[in-house]
Chain A
């Protein structure tokens, strides 16, 4: 079971705020604990902006022990894009946050998400008319959700 959430037109002053907002969506879904958003920021501080996977899109996450209670994926669309300091893929307007309670629980959902992204999911998320359409696109990409 994968919980799916969406947040639209989120205002974030910088990448830290954007990452935090994206991860808060998982806390609101009840699949991540209260410390998870800050842990997601730390991952980028410690490892660099590699989570910006492709043009304009960041995959926000921390480790299971940072507060992953269940498997969840949430999309956050920013009102204004932010810079992560990534050489090729800035600026970022779309964030996909995920959490998982263990090292393997998320693999099926994330693999499906990868396939969907290869199939143009990011553009469909960008084109979604409103919050419900945004949530609907992500749910459609994760059929067990």
Chain B
């Protein structure tokens, strides 16, 4: 079933200020290329533990700790690879039926 509201996305890193901000920019570009209405926030991994989201994106060393917080958890190794993230999002959102 298609999501009838804005997609909530969380970009995480260790400190929540630098790398995750870069990742947020990459994610916003990728989601807009997919035509998805989304709100992307960036934060550190400990703050993320108290939050919920539809999608969490981060490096493996962080997403492993918070894998149960969101229905979609995407692990990336390159924070600037927009095309790679777009493809991962396309696959994951399609599986949930959230991509129309």
A129 shortest CB reach to chain B, Å: 24
B1-24 CB mask vs A (1 if < 8 Å, else 0) is: 000000000000111011101100
**Which residue in chain A gives the minimum CB-CB distance to B13?**
A50
Asked if B78 and A88 make an inter-chain contact with CB atoms under 8 angstroms apart, the answer reads yes
B49 shortest CB reach to chain A, Å: 14
- State the CA gap A87–B64 with chains docked (Å): 15
A contact residues around B15 at 8 Å (CB): 43, 47, 61-63
B21-34 CB mask vs A (1 if < 8 Å, else 0) is: 11001100100000
- State the CA gap A103–B22 with chains docked (Å): 15
Size range of the chain B interface in the assembly: 20 to 34
Asked if B17 and A106 make an inter-chain contact with CB atoms under 8 angstroms apart, the answer reads yes
Question: 16 A-B Cβ contacts within 8 A?
Answer: A43-B14, A47-B13, A47-B61, A50-B61, A51-B18, A53-B19, A53-B78, A53-B79, A53-B80, A54-B81, A59-B18, A61-B15, A100-B17, A110-B22, A111-B25, A115-B25
In the complex, B94 has a CB within 8 A of chain A: no
Asked if B18 and A98 make an inter-chain contact with CB atoms under 8 angstroms apart, the answer reads yes
In the complex, B52 has a CB within 8 A of chain A: no
In the complex, B88 has a CB within 8 A of chain A: no
Contact among B19, B25, B29, B82 with A50 in the assembled complex (CB-CB below 8 Å): B19
Asked if B21 and A89 make an inter-chain contact with CB atoms under 8 angstroms apart, the answer reads no
Where the two chains meet, the residues of A that have a C-beta atom closer than 8 Å to any C-beta of B are 43, 46-48, 50-51, 53-55, 59, 61-63, 86-89, 98, 100, 103, 106-107, 110-111, 113-115, 117-118
A contact residues around B18 at 8 Å (CB): 51, 59, 61, 98, 106, 110
- State the CA gap A89–B79 with chains docked (Å): 11
Asked if A59 and B61 make an inter-chain contact with CB atoms under 8 angstroms apart, the answer reads no
B61-100 CB mask vs A (1 if < 8 Å, else 0) is: 1100000000000000111111000000000000000000
B66 shortest CB reach to chain A, Å: 14
A65 shortest CB reach to chain B, Å: 11
